[in-house]
Amino acid sequence: MTGRLKAFLTYTDYELASYYSAAGLEKLRSVVDVVMNDTGRVLQGIELAEAAQGCQIILAHRSSHGLSETFKASPDLIAFCRAAVDISTVDIPAASERGILVTRASAGFGTAVSELALAMIFDLARGVSRARHAYALGEEPALAKGLQVSTSTIGIVGFGVIGARLAALASQLGMTVKVSDPFADPTKLGNMAASFDEVLSTSDFVVCLAAATPQTENLFNASAFDRMKQGASFLNLSRGQLVDEDALEAALDRGHLRGAGLDVGRAADQKPSSRFIGRPDVVAMPHVGGMTAEAREHQTMDTVRQISALAAREIPSGSVNLESAYRLERIGINPNAAIQKKES
């Protein structure tokens, strides 16, 4: 296939304004023909395939999943580009079966999410949301003693980009840092290395930053919360499926935990569940950990770089299933040759 490629953007108008920059869209239009989602709705399945008919690329916001139904009904599709690191909602085997390339954006939000984690920690330590809640009810807040963050222990579960950045920032504050991650390089962890049990039992703040996989489903369950220190706080800035919400609610209700900070949950778009909204002991945010101008622009421009590479008939960074993406040959890219070149 010669000529310009066509890319369909799944973003609704709201999502476009919130998550994709005008500069990125302008750059994208300079390299491919862009088709916008003008339905006003989040598109899924066959409806997404129909909207993207004739397009070789789908650039998908996190709300539009990469479903098998979409790939089956998209004969022209060559690449499904996720504008996020998380691809847990993309059916990669189904895409690979049909030779469709899947890409993901690189992580540019390590600092942004880490800063939100620290904001939640300070809130939980000093009872900011508790006091605000009491004032909103016309009550006088209780004069409870706060925790001094600089002399507290933070336990981080997951040492990826965010975990590493949070560990560095917490260390600079004087906090004792413990990290549990069986896949992390021990030389990078140094004296921060700890078992999962040690993190749970010794930390004043336990922060969930582990990857969402079938193995980490409900990693934080009743047993995990029982093993946490009396009066400790739990934070989740990863994905909702890592937490048994019944167990978390029970640990909060009986006062075993001081509080929780939730930027994610099992509600729509990975937002915190309604059961935790409005609780004075929960700092709840609507899945905005990476919502800084710098972080959003990084991921926007990463997708632009990926699609620009495809337009130039080159392999894009962030490719997940290159070995199966035989449809790339339609635009003059030989995936096998690219793999061999990389290995040599």
pLDDT digits (tens, 9 = 90+) for 111-136: 999 999 999 999 999 999 999 999 99
Asked if 226 and 249 touch (Cβ cutoff 8 Å), the reply is no
Residue partners of 308: CB distance under 8 A and separation at least 6 = 27, 31
Q: What is the mean pLDDT of the chain?
A: 95
C-alpha torsion 33→39→40→41, nearest 10: -100
For residue 4, what pLDDT is reported? Answer: 94
User: What's the number of CA atoms in the CB half-sphere (13 Å) around residue 43?
Assistant: 23
**Average pLDDT over every residue of 303-325:** 96
In a domain, 303, yes or no: yes
For residue 293, what pLDDT is reported? Answer: 87
Kindly report the number of other CB atoms within 10 A of residue 139's CB atom: 10
**Average pLDDT over every residue of 261-269:** 95
- Alpha-carbon distances, residue 34 vs 41, 45, 222, 335 (angstroms): 18, 20, 48, 25
Q: Are residues 102 and 173 in the same domain?
A: no
Is 322 a residue whose pLDDT tops 90? yes
**pLDDT-based confidence at residue 344 (cuts at 50, 70, 90):** low
In a domain, 1, yes or no: no
Q: Kindly report, residue by residue over 186-215, the tens digit of the pLDDT.
A: 999 999 999 999 999 999 999 999 999 999
Q: Does the CA dihedral 23-24-29-34 come out positive or negative?
A: negative
Q: Kindly report, residue by residue over 65-80, the tens digit of the pLDDT.
A: 999 999 999 999 999 9
CATH number at residue 186: 3.40.50.720
For residue 340, what pLDDT is reported? Answer: 62
Q: Are residues 38 and 124 in the same domain?
A: no
Q: Are residues 331 and 188 in the same domain?
A: no
Asked if 19 and 61 touch (Cβ cutoff 8 Å), the reply is yes
For residue 343, what pLDDT is reported? Answer: 58
> Which of 284, 317, 335 is at the close of a domain?
284
Residue-range definition of the domain harbouring residue 297: 6-106+293-343
In a domain, 307, yes or no: yes
